[in-house]
Chain A
Amino acid sequence: NAGVTQTPKFRILKIGQSMTLQCTQDMNHNYMYWYRQDPGMGLKLIYYSVGAGITDKGEVPNGYNVSRSTTEDFPLRLELAAPSQTSVYFCASSPRDRYTDTQYFGPGTRLTVL
């Protein structure tokens, strides 16, 4: 099992550009999540999905969009990149119980917006 994979690992964007961060899991997990990690701030939830075709906003959704057309894939779209979106982005997945299941994290994408 590869677990949760993310691409790219690093990316530099100019202000106003757009990009898609890819996330794929091969564990047949129902739930998937996108977090951003900023120094000294822990992780903040951007969007999550409880299954194919179902997504919802987390704590910090502004400037992002997601889709979930398959169980495996959960891409995160940045429209009109801003310097405030400079961060490390982690995708995660978990089986089905949000109260007790471990979330499995991908290796992260380090994004810089200049």
Chain B
Amino acid sequence: AQSVSQHNHHVILSEAASLELGCNYSYGGTVNLFWYVQYPGQHLQLLLKYFSGDPLVKGIKGFEAEFIKSKFSFNLRKPSVQWSDTAEYFCASPPRVGGGSNYKLTFGKGTLLTVNP
């Protein structure tokens, strides 16, 4: 079954530190992947998404992610975090092409990022 895993449950950084959050997927074929962010008390919003082409994807607020097929990974990165990046980050995979009537986004369990000023 299609799955997405995030191994870091809680990451604590100081401002200006570099960030890398891990995301691994478990299926082959066509791979589409998203990163969503949920700021405290707010709804989920899209950070970036990958479908095909350039494996380095740039998103909003200085975030980027690199799709590495050989490692089944789609890690999220930011060179220098800010206090305002404190949030929960979710990796997600949309349904696979040819996967029948599957309509759901498959979410990882999320990584809580705390950035200390």
Contact = CB atoms under 8 A, between A and B. Distances in A.
Given A43-B90, A99-B94, A99-B95, A107 B43 contact: yes
Given A90-B44, A105-B43, A40 B104 contact: no
Given A40-B109, A90-B44, A98-B94, A50 B103 contact: yes
A30 B95 CA distance: 16
Interface residues of B, number: 24
A22 interface: no
B43 A100 contact: no
Contacts, number: 57
Contacts of B32: 99-100
B59 to A, nearest CB: 11
A45 B43 contact: no
Interface string A75-114: 0000000000000001010000011111101111000000
Interface size on A, as a range, is 20 to 34
A74 interface: no
A98 B95 contact: yes
Interface in B28-69: 30, 32, 34, 42-46, 49, 51
Given A40-B110, A98-B103, A105-B44, 14 more contacts: A31-B103, A33-B103, A33-B105, A40-B109, A42-B108, A42-B109, A43-B105, A43-B107, A56-B103, A58-B103, A92-B44, A100-B32, A103-B105, A108-B43
